[in-house]
């Protein structure tokens, strides 16, 4: 499992925890998140911005 970070606002996505608020189950890998999903904090889209592995 990996942890990713939004390069625009610093929001962190932890694959272990997922993001249930947007229906993303714990354990969901970054590559399995839909392209239409946007950063919950700053709203930049997955397709437009790289998230970076931080762990």
Q: How far apart are CA 25 and CA 48, in angstroms?
A: 22
Q: How far apart are CA 10 and CA 5, in angstroms?
A: 6
Compute the C-alpha angle 44/47/34, nearest 5°.
100
Quote the least distance from Cβ 23 to other proteins, whole Å: 15
Task: Name the residue nearer to other proteins (CB basis): 1 or 9.
Answer: 9
Binding site for other proteins (CB under 8 A): 5, 7-11, 38-39, 41-45, 47-49, 52, 54
Task: Name the residue nearer to other proteins (CB basis): 28 or 46.
Answer: 46
Task: Name the residue nearer to other proteins (CB basis): 27 or 47.
Answer: 47
């Amino acid at each position: 499992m990996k942890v990713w970070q939004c390069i625009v606002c610093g929001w962190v996505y932890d694959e272990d925890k997922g993001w249930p608020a947007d229906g993303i189950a714990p354990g969901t890998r970054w590559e399995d998140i839909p392209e239409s999903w946007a950063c919950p904090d700053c709203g930049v889209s997955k397709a437009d911005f790289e998230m970076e592995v931080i762990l």
